[in-house]
Structure 1
Amino acid sequence: MLLNKKLLIFLVFLLIPNFGNANTDFIGVIGAAVGEITNQNNEKLSNGSKIFFGDTVVSNNNSNAQILFLDQTILTLGEDTELTIDEFIYDPNSHEGSFVSNVKSGTVKFITGQISKKNPENLEVKFPSGTLGARGTEFVVLAENKNESTVVLLGPGPENSLGMIPGNLILSDGISSVNITNPGFEATIKN
């Protein structure tokens, strides 16, 4: 019985560092911060601040920020914006992973990275009135209030000269969905 207790104590101490490491790996950094940018603990974020899984980033009045993620996704937050990273899993060798973010309020511009390029269905953006999936593109989400959100596809389009994959957004309000493929087009989802 004493051996079992010693083994249990040894295993607990062996596993504790792994739990700590699971939450200390950063997934991105603040590439630019103007004004007051904070996280869910009301800690000030500035250029170079690390972003972790589960973080909420808040840009206050007259403030904006740009977040650079490990898969090369870039998010730009406008003023009065709240964004939470619900999931970020990324393998830099295979470019496999998944990315789920939640725009709770405000405006966020997305430039998709390797996760969306490899598997477009593995990028999901939640907002108060719906969700969207994106395929290798650039778009803006404006979460105006809990009942209405607007999404604009910025590009690239099918006739781009850079050889890029044409952008594609699939928006859903939980009942129906719409596909946006033309740059400059937008959709508004109301509850």
Structure 2
Amino acid sequence: MNTFSIKIIFLTLLLFSTSVFANVAKVVALVGDATITREGKTIDLTKESILLKHDEIKTSNNTKVQLLFKDNTIISIGNNSTFQIYNYLYDEENNKFEAKFNMFKGTFKTITGKIGKKAPENFLLKTKTASIGIRGTQIVISIEDNQEKIFCTEGRIFVQKNNSNLSTSINAGEFISVNQNTNKLEVKTIKPSDIKNINKSISIKSNLAVDNITIKEDRPEKAEKAEKAEKAEKAESTKSTKSTKSTKSTESAESAESAIENTIDDDLSELTPESYFENNNSTATYKGDFNNYGFNNGQQYLKNVNNKKVEIPDDTTIQMDIDFGKTNNQISNGEIKINDVGDSTSRTLTFDGDINTSKSTFDLSPTGTTKGSGGSGKIYGSEADLIKGEVNMSSSDNIQIKGNFDAEKQ
């Protein structure tokens, strides 16, 4: 066999091994001992470990692990837990995305990344008892011998009991308990005591990533009432002490969240600097949706043709142009397209707006036949890559949309 043939065979094997054993994640934090089972072999997991598709991770007593995937999904694993990367594909060039993880036992927290945004239908978490679909979400799972608890702390999730027709949706601030004998999925409100021990199980203080569980501020009102009721049961002095600790814990978690967003999301947690608006004479189109925020009867809803508040449909979109070369009326051609308002008809709401360049904030005003108070929000990223805001607008026949949205520069 000549040298040229040997080189061809070597390159072929190299390409084959790269495609089959492509790296999908890395360990970003580790406390304690854990192992990886790969192709029937067991190896020690370290802070330098790179993970492949089909890898199974097992943690020991007092062990905590945090993984960062290629799409910026973060998974925290507690002690005495077993987790498997069942399938994973993140191919932006060919627009192919899939993330499927098995959680056999233990405690887990998942913060979804770009796959959850680009192809939420292809992001799946599976336990022994249930399958969980997501919508740009933070999910916490606790699996004990005969009981599983599934918490939604941000966004919205869908849970279906395996091998049955039982299914339900869970909004931020809610959870369910499920086991093999469950014949009804009952959604309950999360109380601070429900997640206290889970926080201890997955928290890694030395790591930048967010591992303390906090419930998003726009959670349903009943979650807030439940939390207040629980605090009211405490003595006044104890309540005061716990309030101080809670504030410090929240500030710490928010600080950590800001740190990892700066690392992972290319500084998208920082407001756009005023200099970008002053020195840029271009126009950009932004497109987004309302899918990262679950239904809330007071804050996030669509009032349809039947005058009923319902969840904003997933295919509802928001779009606008921003002209960075103007000093006013910088936002134009704004549209919110609602494809189904309850009778298979659609509505388009229109708006324009102004930007306060010194604060990187904006205000939206209805145009044409669109009514309502308009909207407002903030612009993020060193080059204004992301906008987040809220709207409250209605059509001429009183189809109302109220809620938060995210939109990215195209």
- Pair in the same fold by TM > 0.5: yes
- Residue of structure 2 in register with 1:148 after alignment: 147
- Residue of structure 1 in register with 2:161 after alignment: 172
- Residue of structure 2 in register with 1:17 after alignment: 14
Query: Residues of 1 paired with 2:31 and 2:49: CA distance?
Result: 13
* RMSD (CA atoms): 2.3
C-alpha distance 94-138 of structure 1, shift in aligned 2 (>3 A):
farther
Measured after TM superposition, the shift of residue 184 of structure 1 is: 2.2
Measured after TM superposition, the shift of residue 92 of structure 1 is: 3.6
C-alpha distance 96-19 of structure 1, shift in aligned 2 (>3 A):
closer
Query: Residues of 1 paired with 2:120 and 2:151: CA distance?
Result: 17
Measured after TM superposition, the shift of residue 10 of structure 1 is: 10
Contact 1:128 1:148 in 2 (8 A): no
Query: Residues of 1 paired with 2:95 and 2:76: CA distance?
Result: 22
5+ residue gaps, structure 1, are 1-8, 156-165
- Percent identical residues: 27
- Residue of structure 2 in register with 1:89 after alignment: 89
Q: Which moved more, 1:86-95 or 1:56-65?
A: 86-95
- Residue of structure 2 in register with 1:102 after alignment: 102
- Residue of structure 2 in register with 1:113 after alignment: 113
C-alpha distance 92-144 of structure 1, shift in aligned 2 (>3 A):
same
Contact 1:153 1:180 in 2 (8 A): no
Query: Residues of 1 paired with 2:91 and 2:160: CA distance?
Result: 27
Measured after TM superposition, the shift of residue 180 of structure 1 is: 3.1
Contact 2:30 2:47 in 1 (8 A): yes
Measured after TM superposition, the shift of residue 14 of structure 1 is: 6.3
- Residue of structure 1 in register with 2:30 after alignment: 33
Q: Deviations over 1:50-96 (max 9, x none)?
A: 01111011111110100000011000001000101010011145764
Contact 1:71 1:95 in 2 (8 A): no
Partner-residue secondary structure (3-state), 2:131? strand
- Residue of structure 2 in register with 1:122 after alignment: 122
For CA contacts below 8 A with separation 6 or more, give which structure has more relative contact order.
1
- Residue of structure 2 in register with 1:188 after alignment: 177
Counterpart residue identity of residue 150, structure 2: V
Instruction: Judging by fraction of residues, say which structure has more helix.
Output: 2
Partner-residue secondary structure (3-state), 2:42? coil
Task: Normalising by structure 1, report the TM-score.
Answer: 0.81
Contact 1:35 1:62 in 2 (8 A): yes
> Moved runs in structure 1, 4+ residues, more than 6 A?
9-14
Query: Residues of 2 paired with 1:59 and 1:95: CA distance?
Result: 34
Residue correspondence of structure 1 range 48-87 to structure 2 within 5 A: 48-87=48-87
- Residue of structure 1 in register with 2:43 after alignment: 43
Measured after TM superposition, the shift of residue 130 of structure 1 is: 1.8
Residue correspondence of structure 1 range 153-164 to structure 2 within 5 A: 153-155=152-154
Partner-residue secondary structure (3-state), 1:128? coil
Counterpart residue identity of residue 84, structure 2: T
Contact 1:153 1:169 in 2 (8 A): no
Partner-residue secondary structure (3-state), 2:72? coil
- Residue of structure 2 in register with 1:160 after alignment: none
Task: Normalising by structure 2, report the TM-score.
Answer: 0.39
Instruction: Judging by fraction of residues, say which structure has more strand.
Output: 1
Counterpart residue identity of residue 153, structure 2: L
- Residue of structure 1 in register with 2:374 after alignment: none
Counterpart residue identity of residue 153, structure 1: C
Query: Residues of 2 paired with 1:75 and 1:23: CA distance?
Result: 23
Query: Residues of 1 paired with 2:105 and 2:20: CA distance?
Result: 26
Measured after TM superposition, the shift of residue 46 of structure 1 is: 1.8
- Residue of structure 1 in register with 2:285 after alignment: none
Query: Residues of 1 paired with 2:8 and 2:29: CA distance?
Result: 43
Contact 2:132 2:157 in 1 (8 A): no
Counterpart residue identity of residue 165, structure 2: S
Partner-residue secondary structure (3-state), 1:28? strand
Contact 2:87 2:98 in 1 (8 A): yes
Contact 2:103 2:126 in 1 (8 A): yes
